[in-house]
A = this chain, B = another copy of it.
Amino acid sequence: MTASPGPAYDTRPVAADGAERPVEVDTAAVARLIGEPARAAMLDALLAGRALAAGELARIAGVSPATASEHLSRLREGGLIEVVAQGRHRYHRLASPDVGHALEALALISPPRPVRTLRQSRANRALASGRTCYDHLAGRIGVAVHDTLVERDAIRAGGDGYLLTDPGADLLAGLGVDVAGARGARRSFARPCLDFTERRTHLAGALGAAICDRFLSQGWLVRRGTGQRGLRVTDGGRRVLADSLGIPAERYAAPAE
């Protein structure tokens, strides 16, 4: 039995509007969009959840602004990214967490490409420790938080993903996480997300994002360098993780070697 009232499953006949009916789907079109090195590099950069301007994406992908512009408009038409105009800049971001999930699922079955430089290797090791995945915590920190919440019965499988138990809601509220806001969000509340560096599950959805927000705004975690994707635990964060969640620092230390 779950902590929330009513059945965990949805007894309605899966919605009557046409969007939910099974339809053929053009998988090849989307894969073709991702299957171009420059576009894949852009999407990878956007996977951190930050909106980036077209010029930055051009530089990241190593192509001219003209080419980048074409790629971005294709990605937009394909529904993979959204664009928000702001002054002279046009910021791009992934259209939905589902896009991020598809990218990670692809990464999981993609051939490894040997790390080239020492600098690159060091950066990757840092990412393994803590990073954001779209907008929630990933890496060893994300996995540790996820596992602890499950272990303490703060979240339980249910619905389409997880349901928050009453003690779990108290625990997170005590940390200042905006649980009510997450419940009100129109996106999926809480669901598991496969972490491709750890090959383990961490917490995604509105709740995962709310936790990530809180940890960043309190300075418990800080963005690592200018890459924005890596995360570092501060001394205060170490205290909070240990005292409130019982997570020792070893659980999320960077892997050895």
**A→B interface (CB under 8 Å):** 1-2, 7-11, 13-14, 16, 20-37, 39-41, 43-44, 78-80, 96, 98-99, 101-103, 105-115, 120, 124-125, 127-128, 140, 143-144, 147-148, 150-153, 155-158, 160-162, 192, 196-201, 250-251, 253, 255-257
Establish whether residues A32 and B35, one from each chain, have CB atoms under 8 Å apart when the complex forms: yes
Q: How far is the CA of A198 from the CA of B147 in the complex (A)?
A: 27
Chain B residue at minimum C-beta to C-beta distance from A112? B23
Q: How far is the CA of A147 from the CA of B250 in the complex (A)?
A: 35
Q: How far is the CA of A4 from the CA of B16 in the complex (A)?
A: 41
Chain B residue at minimum C-beta to C-beta distance from A80? B109
Establish whether residues B256 and A13, one from each chain, have CB atoms under 8 Å apart when the complex forms: yes
Residues in B whose Cβ lies below 8 Å from that of A157: 150, 155-157, 162, 192
Q: How far is the CA of A36 from the CA of B29 in the complex (A)?
A: 8
**Copies of this chain present:** 2
Which of A115, A127, A201 gathers the greatest number of chain B CB atoms within 10 Å?
Answer: A201
Closest 6 CB pairs of A and B: A32-B35, A9-B147, A31-B35, A28-B40, A31-B34, A105-B105
Which of A28, A34, A255 gathers the greatest number of chain B CB atoms within 10 Å?
Answer: A28
Q: How far is the CA of A143 from the CA of B12 in the complex (A)?
A: 13
Establish whether residues B35 and A33, one from each chain, have CB atoms under 8 Å apart when the complex forms: yes
Given contacts A9-B143, A30-B106, contact A25 B113 (CB under 8 A): yes
- Contact partner, A106, options B27, B148, B156, Cβ 8 Å: B27
Residues in B whose Cβ lies below 8 Å from that of A20: 199
Expressed in whole angstroms, the minimum distance between the Cβ of A194 and any Cβ of chain B is 8
Chain B residue at minimum C-beta to C-beta distance from A188? B199
Q: How far is the CA of A23 from the CA of B1 in the complex (A)?
A: 40
Expressed in whole angstroms, the minimum distance between the Cβ of A72 and any Cβ of chain B is 16
Given contacts A22-B124, A23-B124, A201-B161, contact A150 B255 (CB under 8 A): no
Expressed in whole angstroms, the minimum distance between the Cβ of A230 and any Cβ of chain B is 11
Establish whether residues A37 and B44, one from each chain, have CB atoms under 8 Å apart when the complex forms: no
Residues in B whose Cβ lies below 8 Å from that of A23: 112-115, 124
